[in-house]
Structure 1
C-alpha cells in the first residue's frame, strides 16, 4: 500500500525472488524519494491509492489501474497485502486470469467495528478472497475468524506459524 513500507518490510523476499532470476515488479504508491535495489531485475510501477479513503470512485480508479498494469505486464504470479490491494488487486488479477495470494497480517478496523462502511469492506473481502489461490494469515484467531464468518474457504488459508519473517539483523533493538 506504499513503496516505502513494501521495501521496508518485504525487501528480503523481493531480493530472494530477484536473485533467482525472476523479474520482480513492485506496484505501489511512491512515498519515498529514492530506493536502490541489489538486482537490476526489480522494477517499480507507481499507482495512486487512497489508503484510508472511502470514496468508491477512487477505489474504482485504483482497481482499473491495477487491471491495466496486470494486463500489460502479464506476471506469472501476484502477491498482495493490506486491505485495498487484497480486495482490488485480487479482483484485478482474476479479471486478467493471473494467479495471486493475499496476505492478511491483521484483520484491522474493518473487522473490529460495525457500520455500513466496514460491512462493505468485509463483503468485498468475502467476494475478492474467493479468487485468491491462497490467503496467508499470522495467527489462529484470524484464521478461525475468516473461516467461521465464511470469508475464506478453509482449504485456501495458510497459517504462517512462525510469522512473516523479520530480518533480525536489519531490525535490531
Structure 2
C-alpha cells in the first residue's frame, strides 16, 4: 500500500514521525512524505521515503491562500494516489481533509494540540472552529493526544464520537531515550526548558521563576533549548529575549539535532506551557528518567503524577512555577533519583511509542479492508 504522511514541516516528520514511517516501510508499505521543503526533506528521502513538497504557511490565515492550499493538496493527492493519508497539524487536518474527500481517499487525522485556536478567543478562532466542524465530517478516524482535546471537540460538536480515539501523544522511543547508567546530580543544579521561544509556551513565567530562584540559589543554571520564532504576535521579540539573556537569568542553548544529549545533562526538565497535545520533549525527558515540572493544563498534566515523577504548577504563574522548581531543587539525591525512576516507569507504561505505532497499523488495516 502507498501511505502519505502530511505535516506542516519536514523537520516535524523527521523528529516526531520517523519511527512510524519506518514501521510502515517494514510492514511493506510505500511511504510518501508531503510537507514544505526544508533542511530535513533530504533526510526523509535518505530514510527511504518519497518526498513531495507542498507550499504552506504555518501561521497565515489568508482565505485565498487557504483555498489554493486545498487545490494544491488535491493535485498532489491525485498524482501520488495514496491508499490512505495520515495528517497532522491544523492546515493538513482541515484543508488536506477537504482535498482528500474530493480525491476519494480515506484520511486519518491526528490533533496534536490545539495551538492558539482554543487559548485565544477571537474571530480567527471562530473561523477555525467552523472549518474544523466542516472538514471533520469526512475523516475515517481522528486521533487526539489527550482526553481534554477530544472532549472539547465533542462539546463543540466538531466531530462524531465514534471516529475519535485518544493516543498517548506521538509516544516516545524508549530504546533511544534511556536514563544514564549512573545517577549524578550537577553541583550547579540545571533546569532545562525545551520549546520554541513563544509566549504560549510559558517562556515569560520561566524567566520570572529564574529571577526569583537565582536570588536564593545563584549557582543554579536555568537553560532554554529551542528555535527562535518571531512569527505573528505569539513569538517573543528578539530584543526582549536578548535582554533576558544579558540579565543572566536565562542561558540560551540555541537548537540541537541531539536533544537527548542536552536532556542527559539536565537535573530537571520544565515546561510551563498554556496548553499542549502531549509534549514530545516531556515524554523524552521522562523516558530518560528526569523529574518534570509542568503546568496543570491539558496535554502537560498527563506527563506528571504530582509529587511522584515531578510537580504540576499553576498556569501563567511565575511565582508558583518557582515554588515547584524549588521543591525539586531541595530534594535529596535519593528523592531526586526516585523521581527520575518514576518518570522512566511512566514513559514505559503509558507513553511507549510502540502503542501508538500499533494503533496506526491496526487502523490503516481496518480502513483499507473496509475500502476494498
What aligned pairs does 1:56-95 form with structure 2 within 5 A after superposition? Answer: 56-95=63-102
Q: Decide which moves more: 27-36 or 74-83.
A: 27-36
Counterpart secondary structure, 2:43: coil
Contact 1:27 1:45 in 2 (8 A): yes
Structure 2 length-normalised TM: 0.44
1:28 aligns with 2:41: no
Q: Which runs of 4+ in 1 moved over 4 A?
A: 36-39
1:163 aligns with 2:169: yes
- The one of 129, 139, 149 equivalent to 2:136 is 129
Contact 2:109 2:142 in 1 (8 A): yes
Structure 1 residue 19, shift from structure 2 partner: 1.5
Structure 1 residue 36, shift from structure 2 partner: 5.2
- The one of 13, 33, 38 equivalent to 1:6 is 13
- Paired residue total: 171
Structure 1: any 5+ residue segments left out of the alignment?
Answer: none
Structure 1 residue 163, shift from structure 2 partner: 3.0
1:18 aligns with 2:25: yes
1:111 aligns with 2:111: no
Superposition CA RMSD, Å: 1.6
Which structure has the larger Rg?
2
Contact 2:112 2:169 in 1 (8 A): no
Kindly provide the CA deviation profile for residues 75-95 of structure 1, in whole angstroms up to 9, marking residues without a partner as x. Answer: 100000100010001111100
Aligned to 1:152: 159
Contact 2:44 2:50 in 1 (8 A): no
Paired with 2:44 and 2:59, the residues of 1 have a C-alpha distance of 28
Structure 1 residues 36 and 80: alpha-carbon distance in aligned structure 2, compared to 1, 3 A threshold: closer
